[in-house]
Amino acid sequence: MKEILIASDHGGFGLKEEIKCFLERKGLRVKDLGPYSDGRCDYTKYAAYLSSEISTGAFKRGILICKSGIGNSIVANRFPAVRAALCHNLKTARLSREHNDSNVLVLGSMFVKPLLAKKMVYAWLNTEFQGGRHQKRLNQIRNIEKRIKEK
């Protein structure tokens, strides 16, 4: 993976900018979907934009940041094939990849400071999905999405 999406709201803007620079220093191309200032804005717009790009397969992974991370998680997980994981520490970031093959990392700037966030992003990007018994569950999620779409 050489390109990643990132978006936030005003509450996550500062952390988004730090993570964006961190990713670029690691050699990734970062597509910043906004916002481009810390002016008040609605997280829903940015979470939907990023999640739509992941859902269609245009991009493999993305990072969403708002104050708590909760709203972004709710919006992102409405999109088919998006597995957004709200993580607050290294262990949850790793497990979200190992067990759930998460493709969107959600961070809450109120709970995750920049140094920890960078460590989490690095771990998330470099942790592989384990497959095995976890693949069975991902298949179940895909079947649920399919049934919902058919209704």
Q: Tens digit of pLDDT for each residue in 72-113?
A: 999 999 999 999 999 999 999 999 999 999 999 999 999 999
- Residue 17's H or E segment, with its range, is helix 13-25
Instruction: Look at the block and give the residue holding tokens 């809450």.
Output: 108
Known catalytic residue at 134: no
> Considering the entire predicted model, what is its pTM?
0.95
Of 10, 88, 99, 134, which residue is the catalytic one?
A: 99
Fold designation for 3-150:
Ribose 5-phosphate Isomerase B; Chain: A, (3.40.1400)
Torsion angle of alpha carbons 33, 37, 42, 44, nearest 10°?
20
Of 66, 87, 88, 134, which residue is the catalytic one?
A: 66
Chain CA centroid to CA 11, Å: 16
Known catalytic residue at 99: yes
